[in-house]
Structure 1
Amino acid sequence: MHAMQYEITLPADYDMDIVRRRVADRGHLLDDWDGLGAKAYLVRERGVHGSPVNQYAPFYLWNSPEGMNAFLWGGAFQGIVRDFGRPAVRHWAGAAYEPGLAAGDPARFAVRRRQPVPDGAELSEAAAEAVREAERLASLDGAVCAAAAIDPRHWEVVHFSLWAREPAEAPGDVFQVLHLSTPERDRLPRGRQW
């Protein structure tokens, strides 16, 4: 599994209905994308759920690097580049994925928490803790799924979870889910990924 996200931060007075219409018109285009476990079309709005910004920030869980590369290099990503400029694309190696207690429910919220792996930390323990946190999040009421991934360049862990209702026990940045494409979610490898 590979996790990926880019963030497009928009002006404070930006009409977020433009992003909503964009997702309503185009979100279905990845509903059958080969190699894609899940794409959550996410927004944050300034002043909502503690967000300091307006932001469009899709988050992806890929089953295969070929699917991710086809998206980035094969033309589909060019629509983002054309409309918003070329954002930096963050990428993390998968550490864990777990379906949640509410796996069959529609995802309405997402939570993303990025945290550094401290200097001097035992890497195997940091990875094991990431796995345990994914398991904990998935076990909570309302969790659709939870994943953990690690960026070994910047030594950062990302925790990502989807929720059927506003999460109470998942710290991090809260996003609204506008659409969820899940062509291969059932093929995402469960549990620890090494």
Structure 2
Amino acid sequence: MHAMQYEITLPADYDMGIIRNRVAAKGHLLDNYPGLGAKAYLIRERGVAESPVNQYAPFYLWNTPEGMNSFLWGPGFQGIIDDFGRPEVQHWTGLAFAEGAARSTMPAKSAAPAMPAASAIRRRTPIPARARLGDLATELVHDTEQLALEDGVIYAAAAIDPRTWEALLFSVWDRESPKGQGDVFQVLHLSTPERALLPEGQQW
């Protein structure tokens, strides 16, 4: 599993309805995308959930590098570049994935969203230089599994960026006011074509 996100920060007076309409029109295009475990179409609005910015920041969990590469070098990401400029793409090596307590009762292989997702939390933490990486990674797996048990969680994932040594804990929720520390996003759409193929638990 590979986690990926880019953030497009918009002017303070930007009409976020433009982004909402964009996702409403195009979000379904990745509902059957090969290699994609899940994509959460995320926004933050200035003044909502303590956000200081207006931002479009989709978050991806990829099953295969081929899927990720075909998106980045294909027309989907080029459309982002054409409309907003080329953003920095953040990426993390996957450590763990867990289906949440609020996962859907529909078949796991359905390309439709698992449930009407409402929000997401992203917690990024610098890894201290003295940290023992094996112990830290094991702790993140445990944190992911415990987070997935929270009422309202649809799925949760953990990952590490070994370039910046940053730990990531990400979760998608079925409610607008989730519990937990981190940056809170609104979810406009959820594409989950290969969510059933994301390996659960520890990924090494």
Q: Is TM more than 0.5 here? A: yes
> 1:17 and 2:17 equivalent?
yes
**What one-letter code is carried by the residue in structure 2 that aligns with 1:12?**
A
Q: Which residue of 1 aligns with 2:37?
A: 37
Alpha-carbon distance in structure 1 between the residues aligned to 2:21 and 2:116: 19
Residue 116 (str. 1) matches residue 96 (str. 2): no
CA distance in 2, matches of 1:161, 1:169: 10
List per-residue Cα deviations over 1:57-87 (Å, max 9, x = no partner): 0000000000000000122200000000000
TM-score, length basis structure 1: 0.98
C-alpha distance 170-70 of structure 1, shift in aligned 2 (>3 A): same
* AA in 1 matched with 2:83: D
1:186 aligned to 2:201? no
1:134 aligned onto 2:144: yes
Which one of 147, 152, 162 corresponds to residue 172 of structure 2? 162
Give 1:137 shift: 1.0
What's the TM-score, normalizing by structure 2?
A: 0.93
Contact 2:118 2:188 (C-alpha < 8 Å) held by counterparts = yes
* Local SS of the residue matching 2:80: helix
Amino acid at match of 1:21: N
* Alignment-derived partner of residue 147 in structure 1: 157
Please say if 1:6 is aligned against 2:16. no
Identity across the alignment (%): 66
Displacement of 1:167: 4.6
* Structure 1: runs of 5 or more not aligned: none
Counterpart of 1:59 in structure 2 is 59
List runs of 5+ in structure 2 lacking aligned partners.
Answer: 105-114
Deviates more, 1:86-95 or 1:157-166: 157-166
Equivalent position amino acid for 1:174 in 2: V
- String of CA shifts for 1:129-170, please: whole Å, max 9, x gaps: 111111111010000000001100100011110000135432
Distance 1:30 1:62, change over 3 A: same
- Whole-angstrom distance in 2 between the partners of 1:17 and 1:78: 21
Q: Which residue number corresponds to residue 85 of structure 2?
A: 85
Structure 2 CA distance, aligned partners of 1:27 and 1:139?
28
Question: What count of residue pairs does the alignment treat as equivalent?
Answer: 194
Counterpart selection for 1:171 from 177, 181, 185: 181
Partner of 1:37, secondary structure, is strand
Identify the range of structure 1 (157-166 vs 51-60) with the bigger mean alpha-carbon deviation: 157-166
| CA distance, structure 2, for counterparts of residue 64 and residue 112 of structure 1 | 22
Amino acid corresponding to residue 130 of structure 2 in structure 1: G
Q: Distance in 1 between matches of 2:8 and 2:93?
A: 22
Say if 2:176 and 2:186, in contact at 8 Å, map to a contact too: no
Change over 3 Å in CA distance of 1:22–1:168 after alignment to 2: closer
Query: Which amino acid is the alignment partner of residue 47 of structure 1?
Result: G
Q: After TM superposition, which residue ranges in structure 1, 4 or more long, deviate above 2 angstroms? A: 166-169
